Amino acid sequence: MSDDIAASRRIVQDWVVRYIAAVIDLAPEAVPLDTEFREIGVDSAEVVIMTGVMEEEFGFEIDAELPFRRATIAGLLDALQEAGLVAA
Amino acid sequence: MTPPALSLVVLAHDMARALPRTLRSLAPDYQATAPVPPAEIGGWEIIVVDNGSACPVQAAEVAPPDVALRVIRRGPEAAAAVAEALNQGLQNATGEFVGVWIDGARLASPGLLGACARALRLHPRAVVATRNYHLGPALQHAAAMSGFDAAAEDRLLNSIDWPRGAARLAEIATPEQPDPTGPLLESNALFMRRAQWQALGGFDPRFGGAGGGAVNIDMLLRACAAPGSQLIRILGEGTFHQLHGGVTTGAGPRRAAALLKLGSKQYFRLRGRPMRALRQRGWLYDAALGALRPDSPERAHG
């Protein structure tokens, strides 16, 4: 993925949902967007690991502590959008 | 001379304060907790790999009683090469079984070696993972931010009269993972047959960076993915991290998270897939029972 063109929120969201679904062995459509990661069954280390893979996939940099402050999929995407890393 | 049943490879770098306690915790008179007596373990040796310490480890100063200890010294220029250091230790191991301590600042609970020795014999390709704890009221990268220091750690150990009160270590410590049967990413003390370590090629030296990056995580994941392997988690024993200014636990939460993220990126580049914690429970060895827990899943091997 190019560094120059921000991925759309929908693409990144789908990626995150699929990633988490694979981690917790759940169907993607069953992964909630507004539930905290730990309540979904993904611990903080796994979320940090996911952000590393996101950086590799999408070419942007994420503060490693961001998922602690914005601890839902929707919150994480909001933060990335606010930072201009994903497009609406 | 008959080789010992078990070799322990302990990696150390500038751990003058912490290493002696770790080695003391590996002495036969310390590892004497029922139900597995030291005699059942079959004898063990300790190989300390001193990875470029400014003040080199002196065997005579740190050797615990009644156990053979060797020190492999590597120069300061080698300090970053964690995988190579561990592999050098593995190459020097003579036991049928080998336990590797990637962090020599983690002292053992008193039934750890007995539990691991018995668990190793339960399956021909056992991968025996032990639980990681940090001494103190919180994980040390967080506790250090609120004033937990070496003196406080010493007071804690004194409060349980360690080493005599070593069975109470868990009371003064915090586990890295709250659920010992939950997602497993790393085991500081990892045990397998020497032949398994060899078949896996030891640690992958392509993993670099502070503390070896994700090299230990990669080792556990590869070991458990190897055909025919059987993960066995040790419940009720563990290793306990002491403060030593290490790359992750001495770093603060932000830096610790950044290092984990870096390890994730490196793993993804090298392996072409995300670094995922093990979710399989494996067999659960209960140290207090001295046997597998009756509800151990997937217990198919005879």
Residue B302: the pLDDT is 39
CATH of the domain at A56: 1.10.1200.10
- Is the residue at A2 inside a domain? no
DSSP 8-class letter at B268: H
- Is the residue at B153 inside a domain? yes
The amino acid present at B150, given as its one-letter code, is A
- Three-class SS state of B44: strand
Residue A51: the pLDDT is 96
- Contact between B62 and B24 under an 8 Å Cβ cutoff? The reply is no
> Which of B185, B254, B261 lies closest to A51 in CB terms?
B261
Separation in Å, CA of A52 to nearest CA in chain B: 5
- Is the residue at B35 inside a domain? yes
Binned at pLDDT 50, 70 and 90, residue A2 comes out as very low
> Which of A19, A46, A62 lies closest to B277 in CB terms?
A46
Alpha carbon distance B158, B163 (integer Å): 9
Q: Which residues of B touch A (CB under 8 A)?
A: 177, 182-183, 185, 253-254, 257-258, 260-265, 268-269, 274-277, 279
- Bridge partners (DSSP) of residue B246 are none
Domain interval for residue A22: 7-87
- Is the residue at A26 inside a domain? yes
Residue indicated by tokens 């029922």: B34
Q: Which residues of A touch B (CB under 8 A)?
A: 19, 23, 25, 43-46, 48-53, 55-56, 62, 64-65, 68
- Is the residue at B268 inside a domain? yes
Binned at pLDDT 50, 70 and 90, residue A48 comes out as very high
- Is the residue at A45 inside a domain? yes
- Contact between B78 and B87 under an 8 Å Cβ cutoff? The reply is no
The domain total for chain B is: 1
- Is the residue at B300 inside a domain? no
Q: At what angle do helices B82-92 and B215-225 cross, to 10 degrees?
A: 50
Angstrom CA distances, B230 to A40, B5, B129, B186, B286, stand at 28, 20, 10, 16, 16
Residue B297: the pLDDT is 65
Q: B165: Cβ–Cβ under 8 A, 6 or more apart, which residues?
A: none
CB atoms within 10 A of CB B118: 22
Average pLDDT over residues A43-55: 94
Q: What ipTM does this complex have? A: 0.91
Residue B175: the pLDDT is 96
Which residues in chain A have Cβ-Cβ distances shorter than 8 Å to B263?
49, 52
- Bridge partners (DSSP) of residue B189 are B101
- Is the residue at B282 inside a domain? yes
Whose CA is closest to B25, among B162, B130, B129? B162
- Contact between B47 and B95 under an 8 Å Cβ cutoff? The reply is no
CATH of the domain at B96: 3.90.550.10
Positions of chain B with pLDDT under 50: 302
The domain total for chain A is: 1
Alpha carbon distance B288, B198 (integer Å): 31
Residue indicated by tokens 């080199």: B56
Higher pLDDT, B146 or A56: A56
- Bridge partners (DSSP) of residue B174 are B134
Residue in chain B closest to A54 (alpha carbons) equals B265
Alpha carbon distance B296, B233 (integer Å): 10
Whose CA is closest to B250, among B83, B76, B15? B15
Alpha carbon distance B111, B237 (integer Å): 6
- Is the residue at A39 inside a domain? yes
- Is the residue at B302 inside a domain? no
- Three-class SS state of B206: coil
Domain interval for residue B160: 6-291
- Is the residue at A1 inside a domain? no
Alpha carbon distance A33, A39 (integer Å): 11
